Amino acid sequence: MSHVFHRHTRSEYPVADRGEGIHIVDTTGKRYIDASGGAAVSCLGHGHPRIVEAVREQVGRLEFAHTGFFTNRPMEALADRLIASAPAGLDRVYFVSGGSEAVEAAIKMARQYFLEIGQPSRTRLIARRQSYHGNTLGALATGGNMWRREPFDPLLMDVSHISPCYAYRGRREDETEAEYGLRMAEELDVEIRRLGPENVAAFFAEPVVGATLGAVPATEGYFRRIREICDEHGVLLILDEVMCGMGRTGSLFACEQEGISPDIAVIAKGLGAGYQPIGAVLVSGRIYDAFRAGSGFFQHGHTYMGHPVACAAALAVQRVIEEDDLLEAVRTRGARLRSLLEERFGNHHHVGDIRGRGLFLGLELVADRASKEPFAPELALNVRVKREAMDRGLMCYPMGGTIDGRRGDHVLLAPPFIVEDADLEVITARLGEAVDAAIAGAIT
Ligand SMILES: Cc1ncc(COP(=O)(O)O)c(C=O)c1O
């Protein structure tokens, strides 16, 4: 009997024993292709010798030195490296241990920034429905997935939520994708004016929405308009790149493809690729200078921030991505995977949309393609797809509630950047079988 408080109290989990490249092997010897990188984490696959060596080396040299007393070399080197390739204006990095911690820090940073510059009434946050920003209370309040929020709603701060930019379901017949995107962006302007710009601190968004929408990028021009609206009202733009950042979409930062820079960017997952828990908040020089000129410190902190072993692992991950030209691999393998998915699912009666960027791709499952009617949530189709895929030795990341937190199902794929073309064919074939078996099981 296990004493672990697992995620699901009635589920049985296979025991993961070891990792080999794109595979996880359980204690019975069964191999699973990790086609979702867990949840878009393992971008270098498992057991990468250069990362293992970097961790070993660092833990032997210095396992921990509290950041209230010392800085450390891996943290400094990682910050230099991230800033050298970050979107224009970002100049400082605040290291934490994961995505939710990074979002919490970003929220408090935005708040304290406005205190530092003498605009104390700016307390309100705006985010989007169907977004996910993490499970700690501030991050959960910021996220817009109703199912995840509901039980804890009485504990959550008041955050405004505007529509996502989700063309598959939101675009009207009489508008182009670009017109639709601009219409969605205007919702931000309307909400800022409704709250009073002097009360609004920040707007949060994922450039490509991951867990809760299934790899949905915004339409062309949406984020440029969002940037303009934030600037016009003095509101900070905070981009959550925890899932879509660090190369996953084919550029190191997903927002590079939108042609904009945020005031704050949060990253995690692929930053450490699962070799260590690490997240980070990248902040503009303007924001950092306000702290320096003002109180001189950020009233925040965690014991494990800037952990030397986590930073050494992330530094090694970032080096491998550059030295092995893996951003290019993400673009070419991503295009290959997309065309395989289109071949296999393009005419599938129950796949309404195939979307995403780079090696961050999603399928939306529907009961009826013409009307886009989803499957009944009671069928728990996404749970069935996950089970059928695991039975076939495939890890993918299906989720329900795509449309409104309750209705809709999608499957997210986020394979390691080291995946080969032959692996992509196996992934597509196994996913096809899993989806068909799950649907057959659900509707009989
Ligand atoms: C976009 C986004 N933000 C934040 C988080 C929270 O990260 P973590 O689970 O590391 O706390 C996630 C996790 O899935 C995420 O996808």
Which string of DSSP letters, residue by residue, matches 198-264?
GGEEEEEE-SEE-TTTSSEEPPTTHHHHHHHHHHHHTPEEEEE-TTTTTTTTSSSSGGGGGT---SE
Substitution candidate for ligand 1 out of 136, 148, 243 with most atoms within 8 A of CB: 243
Which residue type occupies 58? Q
Q: Name which of 40, 11, 17 is nearest 416 in CA terms.
A: 40
Question: If you write DSSP's letter for every residue of 150-202 in order, what string do you get?
Answer: GGGGGGS---EEE----HHHH--TTS-HHHHHHHHHHHHHHHHHHH-GGGEEE
Task: Please name each of the domains of the chain with its CATH number.
Answer: 16-47+325-443 (3.90.1150.10), 52-323 (3.40.640.10)
122: left (phi over 0), alpha (psi -120 to 50) or beta: beta
pLDDT at position 412, please?
Answer: 98
Cα–Cα–Cα angle for 99, 104, 110, rounded to 5 degrees: 125
pLDDT tens track, the chain, 444 positions: 899 999 999 989 999 999 999 999 999 999 999 999 999 999 999 999 999 999 999 999 999 999 999 999 999 999 999 999 999 999 999 999 999 999 999 999 999 999 999 999 999 999 999 999 999 999 999 999 989 999 999 999 999 999 999 999 999 999 999 999 999 999 999 999 999 999 999 999 999 999 999 999 999 999 999 999 999 999 999 999 999 999 999 999 999 999 999 999 999 999 999 999 999 999 999 999 999 999 999 999 999 999 999 999 999 999 999 999 999 999 999 999 999 999 999 999 999 999 999 999 999 999 999 999 999 999 999 999 999 999 999 999 999 999 999 999 999 999 999 999 999 999 999 999 999 999 999 998
Separation of CA 402 and ligand 1 centre (Å): 17
pLDDT at position 1, please?
Answer: 86
β-bridge partners, 236: 202
**Residue 330 three-state SS:** helix
Separation of CA 100 and ligand 1 centre (Å): 6
- Counting from 1 in the atom list of ligand 1, the atom nearest the Cα of 101 is 11
pLDDT at position 329, please?
Answer: 98
| Cα 63 versus chain centre, distance | 28
Q: Are strands 208-209 and 397-400 parallel, antiparallel or unpaired?
A: unpaired
d(CA 325, CA 334): 14
- Counting from 1 in the atom list of ligand 1, the atom nearest the Cα of 39 is 14
β-bridge partners, 47: none
Separation of CA 263 and ligand 1 centre (Å): 19
Separation of CA 370 and ligand 1 centre (Å): 33
Q: Name which of 438, 269, 245 is nearest 350 in CA terms.
A: 438
Residues near ligand 1 with C-beta < 6 Å? 39, 98-100, 103, 132-134, 206, 210-211, 240, 242-243, 268
